[in-house]
Amino acid sequence: AQTVTQSQPEMSVQEAETVTLSCTYDTSESNYYLFWYKQPPSRQMILVIRQEAYKQQNATENRFSVNFQKAAKSFSLKISDSQLGDTAMYFCAFMKRGDMRFGAGTRLTVKP
Partner 1 sequence: NAGVTQTPKFQVLKTGQSMTLQCAQDMNHNSMYWYRQDPGMGLRLIYYSASEGTTDKGEVPNGYNVSRLNKREFSLRLESAAPSQTSVYFCASSVRDRVDEQYFGPGTRLTVT
Tell me which of 77, 79, 82, 103 binds partner 1, using CB under 8 A.
103
Measured from the CB atom, is 36 or 86 closer to partner 1?
A: 36
Tell me which of 11, 24, 50, 65 binds partner 1, using CB under 8 A.
50
Rg of the chain over all Cα atoms, to the nearest angstrom: 13
Q: How far is the CB of 40 from partner 1 (least distance, A)?
A: 12
Strand stretches in 18-105, DSSP E: 19-21, 24-26, 33-39, 46-52, 60-61, 64-69, 74-79, 88-96, 99-102
Verify binding: residue 33, partner 1, rule CB under 8 A: yes
C-alpha 11: how far from its chain's center? 13
Tell me which of 77, 105, 108, 110 binds partner 1, using CB under 8 A.
105
Residue 105 burial (CB count, 10 A):
18
Measured from the CB atom, is 35 or 75 closer to partner 1?
A: 35
